[in-house]
Structure 1
Amino acid sequence: MAGPNGDGGKQGLEVGEVTLLTFQTRMQKLVDELKGSPAEHTKIGEQKVTAASYGTGFSAASEMHGAYEKVRTRLEELTKIFGETIEAMGIRAQIAHKGYDNVNQEQRDRYRQILETAREDYRKQHPAETQDPAKPAKPTADTDSGGFS
């Protein structure tokens, strides 16, 4: 599909070298800030509340602690994913600027590693969407069988 100026709509997509370098610098700054902050995934993992902090001798306290642990664990995972995503965006900006073959092998490997980690997390969070299409979906407790089991 041609853009209004006959260039296929590409004119608005072009960015200059300065823009990519600025973007990469900003991404690296975010990664560096995250690494030293209390929001870093390893630091979130250190911030724990003991079960006894909620009280003892009643089930609501242990349920509350279980909910806290579940949220804290997921927050730790999401913070790690967020940091890796920012890092990947910085690497991607370098690739866009220099070309894939002109980025060092260590960065290319790190980029692929981040992508695979993100895919694994997605599969873990969305198993029904990522299963093999050749295999039928397994019914879950939430699936309505129409009255037939």
Structure 2
Amino acid sequence: MALSDLLPPDGVITGLSASSRKQVVQSLAEVAARFCNAKPRDIVDAVLERERLGSTGVGDGVAIPHARVAGVDRVFGVFARLRTPVDFDSIDGRPADLIIMLLAPEDSTAEHLKALARVSRVLRREDMRELLRGAADADALNAILGGEIASDAA
């Protein structure tokens, strides 16, 4: 599974401006709502409720906020590269600038976990993070995210 299988091309944002985790989630929820039957408010509520259970900041400037949401019929995500990193209570204490918000149907378990594992495995790679941070625009980000499977042996 390539990340491009999870991320619609119009679901990739470069240069998102936000000053807090909540603003990031709200901005990504607005984008995500275009790809499902969920309202942005419901997405925000579900993702922030999941954040209360434990941080989704995985370290190295990466966060993977996620939730199961009514109105979502398949696992998918939206990606943002932030202009300025924000605090996601990451395990390494660093703010995050690469964010993939994953959404899944309410009854999803295995597929949701598989997608989380895939995103985590790809974004754990330093070379991938550097490529994403250096991409000039959303088209370049999509190309990187679409081609990551070729350079990933896992």
TM-score norm. by structure 1 comes to 0.21
More contact order relative to length (CA 8 Å, sep ≥ 6): 2
Q: Higher Cα Rg: structure 1 or 2?
A: 1
| Structure in which a larger fraction of residues adopt strand | 2
| Structure in which a larger fraction of residues adopt helix | 1
TM-score norm. by structure 2 comes to 0.21
